C-alpha cells in the first residue's frame, strides 16, 4: 500500500514545523513548502535537518517520485 502524501505550507512558520514532524511520524510522505526555500541554501539546510521530507521551492515543482 502506498503512503499518503501531505503538503505542508509555511513549513518554517506558524505550526509548520510541528505539522511536518507529526505527519512524518504518522507515516506520510511529506512535501514542505515555504517561501524561504526559494534560496537554495535555506532549502539545503532544511533538507539536511529533515532527511525524509521534500523541501519544495516556491518557484519549482516537485519532480522526484514519491515512492
Task: Encode pLDDT of 48-67 as tens digits.
Answer: 999 999 998 887 665 555 55
Which cell is 24 given? 512524518
pLDDT at 62: 59
Residue extents of the structural domains in the chain: 1-34+47-52
* CA–CA gap between residue 3 and residue 13 (Å, rounded): 25
Q: Where are the beta strands (DSSP E) in the chain?
A: 5-9, 29-33, 53-56
Task: Encode pLDDT of 14-35 as tens digits.
Answer: 899 999 999 999 999 999 999 9
> In the structure, how many helices (H) and strands (E) does the chain have?
2, 3
Taking the CB of residue 35, how many other CB atoms lie within 10 A of it?
15
Amino acid at each position: 500500500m502506498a503512503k499518503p502524501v501531505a503538503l505542508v505550507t509555511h513549513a518554517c512558520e506558524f505550526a509548520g514545523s510541528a505539522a511536518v514532524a507529526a505527519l512524518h511520524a504518522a507515516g506520510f510522505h511529506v512535501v514542505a513548502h515555504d517561501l524561504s526555500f526559494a534560496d537554495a541554501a535555506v532549502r539545503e539546510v532544511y533538507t539536511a535537518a529533515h532527511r525524509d521530507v521534500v523541501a519544495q521551492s516556491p518557484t519549482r515543482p516537485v519532480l522526484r517520485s514519491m515512492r
